[in-house]
Chains A and B, each alone.
Chain A
């Protein structure tokens, strides 16, 4: 791994962190409407995982999907424009935060229905097999999603058919408020792999290089036809579930403990310690990315809203194969 790559990873993590901080600010100023689930605290997972795969591989994202989108190659301006409901956004303002997708980069999209993308990732795995490519699919989902029926159905299917899908559980200990301790039968989601004969492991989700290494190994196996893999990343979301969440279901002490493990700060320290970058270089990288985020925000807020006449565009593909005319 060259130094250039490490710098790039730090850049992507910072991009996600600053983007999310800006999103939170725009939400409270009501410049972003609706809901946005921010990824701050979990950056190491998306960045580490996407660093371990190829450009032509796929990812399936979640309602907490901004980080996945950026890590897979999504661009700040189009993302911010989407969150602000503008025509210039990745989904022309139709999707917003919960449905963000940059389809060109192999992102199969985010979903507002928890768990609903787990079968989609699995189906992409079927397609890879049928097309005889050696692509892999990363399927991101939360601890909460691992209690949905489709999680279990998908793992069974992927295992039975040896599909090249890597299931990546972002276990941040909570759903909205429901803690894994209270609503789940197991504390380590990784153990659920054994029920489906899928190898699994637990990874420190606050350490980008550990995530990257685990996904690299799993992806190599999947490309060789060894089938699916389940990786559970232990992590924490730094913000509340939504803008108004008073976070009564968790303690401030617990939050402080996890903030000690901040994946961005931790990686910065590592990079400094190993002499990959100097303090000044990191500062200037941070400055540049903060300017990028500001520019993206400006782009978004100056972009037009979709025109009402376009309301039903794209409900159907225009070419009609068979219809009585």
Chain B
């Protein structure tokens, strides 16, 4: 199979969905001639024109709210919020309008909006451009939250998100845009709410998502050399959550570790731990632990940024501890 970059995979999904359905259009900051801050929309403006690839002013609240209005009146907007750090400005529209309109209006409207954004650390761009805020949006009934880790998933999940009638927060990771992976040429989708078992193992289950899923696989490969076999689950979508796949694995291994780049306190990793404990207490042989970001604004300096979020070595150590304590 051919290999393409994560950013290309996303670009193909957008282009193909725009071809397939003329209701799909894009809006956001610097997405037209500039091609998006991370190059995801390159070439789409040239191909589809300025009506369907709309450069907006720096107005995140209006972008999100206008997406809702367009969606409620028959369009299928894919709006880009350049960094998830800027979604704070759009949060009112996302949380109070995009997420809730359908329910508040008795199920009589739909808001098929995709809000594409990106998050995460790794580029030394500090506290306003590196956050992992997915937990906020998972907390809001009415929103789906999708976080792909590979080019294949990125394309398939973006297509599903665009075709779904529910609003989706589609959160990419800045360090993944330049990663390559196999992606079929023909049309395919990856369903929302289905996790991916990236590696089978009998000793411990590692649950991760977005870039941390790749680090978890690295850690598992390293541990395998030392005789510990980890099962690695990439959630792919945080909401809907594929709890069945998680529980099937945990019942087999009896041990679980949840890895997330977001700040530990109040983060999504804690939610996964709770569900595992609620559903699988009797199967557990060791405490379920979180390997997560420190409770700190992301610092610019490389020596600090590196230790603010989980590294492979942190996952390896947590696994070893869990295995011993079990």
Interface residues of A (CB under 8 A from B): 33-35, 85-86, 93-99, 111-115, 144-145, 147-149, 175-178, 182-184, 248-249, 305-308, 310-312, 315
Contacts and interface: CB of A to CB of B under 8 A. Distances in A.
B89 A176 contact: no
B126 A311 contact: no
B43 to A, nearest CB: 12
A178 B86 CA distance: 17
* Interface-central residue, B55, B61, B86, B307, by most chain A CB under 10 Å: B55
A85 B301 contact: yes
Contacts of B59: 147-149
Given A94-B300, A114-B58, A249-B34, A33 B85 contact: no
A178 B57 contact: yes
Interface string B61-94: 1100000000000000000000001101100000
Contacts of B33: 177, 248-249
B246 to A, nearest CB: 30
A93 B126 CA distance: 10
8 contacts: A85-B301, A149-B62, A176-B29, A177-B32, A177-B55, A178-B55, A249-B33, A249-B34
Contacts of A86: 301
Contacts of B16: none
A98 B55 CA distance: 24
A149 B123 CA distance: 28
Interface in B263-294: 294
Given A98-B129, A177-B33, 20 more contacts: A85-B124, A85-B301, A86-B301, A94-B297, A94-B301, A98-B128, A99-B126, A99-B127, A99-B300, A112-B126, A112-B128, A113-B85, A147-B57, A148-B89, A149-B62, A175-B57, A308-B307, A311-B304, A312-B296, A315-B296
Contacts of B303: 85, 93, 305-308
Interface string B108-141: 0000000000000001111111000000000000
B302 to A, nearest CB: 6
Given A95-B126, A99-B126, A311-B294, A183 B57 contact: yes
B129 A94 contact: no
B56 interface: yes
B contact face: mostly helix, strand, loop, or mixed: loop
B193 interface: no
A96 B304 contact: no
A93 B29 contact: no
Given A112-B129, A184-B57, A249-B33, A85 B85 contact: no
Given A94-B300, A183-B56, A311-B296, A113 B128 contact: yes
A113 B300 contact: no
A96 B123 CA distance: 12
Interface string B17-43: 000000000000110111001000000
A161 B15 CA distance: 50
A113 B29 CA distance: 13
A175 B28 CA distance: 13
A245 to B, nearest CB: 8
B317 interface: no
A311 B301 CA distance: 10
A32 to B, nearest CB: 9
A175 B30 contact: yes
Given A34-B124, A98-B125, A148-B58, A248 B34 contact: yes
B308 interface: yes
Contacts of B85: 112-113
Task: Please give me the 4 A-B residue pairs with the lowest Cβ-Cβ distance, nearest first.
Answer: A112-B128, A96-B300, A34-B124, A33-B124
Contact of B304 (A93, A98, A114, A175): A93
B165 interface: no
Contacts of B56: 178, 183
B92 to A, nearest CB: 10
A142 to B, nearest CB: 9
